[in-house]
Structure 1
Amino acid sequence: MSLVIEPLISIANISTILLSSFNKVPQISTVLKARSAIGLSIYSVLIELTGYCITMSYFISYQYALPSFLEYPFLVTQDVCLVAAALYFGTQVGSVLVLGYAGLLVCLMTSMIGGFLADPVMALLVSSTTPISAVSKIVQLLAITRRKSSEGVSVAAWMISAYCCCTRLLTVYIETADAALLSNFGISLLLNSCIIAAAIYYAPPTSTARLNKTNKND
């Protein structure tokens, strides 16, 4: 690789891992400040968490180098915290259902990491993460458009996700040009961008705007 490309890849990898370490922090902060999970689709988070857990378990099972999947432990931890916060402040899904789902997810991860699943099954599971990721984002996008409000949705969190997709597109294209991975990150980038656009378009009015509107009505 050239003297320009190698540092570029290093910067992309490091920035992706660093940003992933607090990717969901803005969203968690939004829920905690509002003391409400309104606007956040818990279904979207649970589906996303499933994809992250499958990917992380796959990397661990096949003993990949830690730097190649270091962002996933951070992402899994943050999604778990986000689900816990959403349950604490009330959400559209019951805690019993979420705990049951979590139990199934732990069993799946244990089976993958413990080597209890055949290679074809492992390959099928990891290939399913692309549609899983897409579905999780579509669910959140629909939640915003149906409510016609992005209240409770952190635009910053989705911007970080979009940036990480861009960096992974760059590194994958330069290093392996893997079509499946490029497709995965490309679809994710497109849907992340749609969520950002919808969140901005349906952003609730600021307190100043609401006050001005009230004064005009008076």
Structure 2
Amino acid sequence: MMQSDTLLHVANVSTLLVCMVLKFPQIFVLLRAKSTTGLSIKSLVLELIGPLLWYIVFVTYQMYYDYPPPTYLEYPILIAQDVVLLLLILLYGGRLQDSLLYSVVFVVGWRLLTVEKWIIDFAMNLCTFISAASKFAQLQCLWRSKDAGQVSALTWALATYTCMTRIYTTVVTTGDMQVLVRFIAMTLLNLWVLLSVLYYRRHGCSPIKED
């Protein structure tokens, strides 16, 4: 029992620590390159909308079922990093004016959420779908360009690790199937993106620019 508690504590703390710097490698790559080659703006928008909705829904969901706070404390940190990433993507992509529209969408989306159980359950499933869609958008961008460009392999590796630890903490603490299915799906998709990035880095394919 003591060993299990220690492992759970390590998983929770390591996930929180990793998430504190999860997007830093990608942010530094963008700041250094001042380019969005190989990055999908559509993916980043979905990747930001997903966590924002997911965090609000997830916190409400966790509190409703009285789940332990250490299982979701990393989400505010991830949201802040995604906001910085999105602003950089819009800035270097010449679409900074779109940030106002996205801000309105986020605020309105948050206000529309309620504490009704059926809405929480529906929103949980919707957030999983949005997050999965963002991974496929990034994969599509990689497949079309055949170039890893400014995509950070370290960021995707860290994301894969945090999802794997959350599979363990979910099984040990709550056993919630909706949450478990989400983290399993995200682990597989994050790993897929990571392997794709490593593949195109290794083969050094020439980029095909998107319109």
Please confirm whether the aligned pair reaches a TM-score higher than 0.5, indicating the same fold: yes
Q: With the length of structure 2 as denominator, give the TM-score of the two structures.
A: 0.86
CA deviation profile, 1:175-210 (whole Å, cap 9, x unmatched): 23222222111111111111111101111778xxxx
Residue 12 (structure 1) shift: 0.2
CA distance in 1, matches of 2:42, 2:162: 22
Residue 59 (structure 1) shift: 4.4
Residue in structure 2 matched with residue 99 of structure 1 by the alignment: 100
Larger Rg: 1
CA distance in 2, matches of 1:15, 1:145: 32
Say whether the 8 Å CA contact 2:61–2:120 is kept in structure 1: no
Letter of the aligned partner of 2:100 in structure 1? L
Letter of the aligned partner of 2:77 in structure 1? F
Q: Does 1:122 align with 2:120?
A: yes
Q: Secondary structure at the match of 2:111?
A: helix
Letter of the aligned partner of 1:123 in structure 2? D
Residue in structure 1 matched with residue 164 of structure 2 by the alignment: 166
Gapped regions of structure 2 (runs ≥ 5): 205-211
Letter of the aligned partner of 2:126 in structure 1? S
Q: Percent identity?
A: 33
Q: Secondary structure at the match of 1:36?
A: coil
* Total equivalences in the alignment: 200
Residue in structure 2 matched with residue 5 of structure 1 by the alignment: 4
Q: Does 1:69 align with 2:72?
A: yes
Residue 111 (structure 1) shift: 3.6
Residue in structure 2 matched with residue 215 of structure 1 by the alignment: none
Letter of the aligned partner of 2:109 in structure 1? L
Note the aligned Cα RMSD (angstroms): 2.0
Residue in structure 2 matched with residue 210 of structure 1 by the alignment: none
Q: With the length of structure 1 as denominator, give the TM-score of the two structures.
A: 0.84
Gapped regions of structure 1 (runs ≥ 5): 207-218
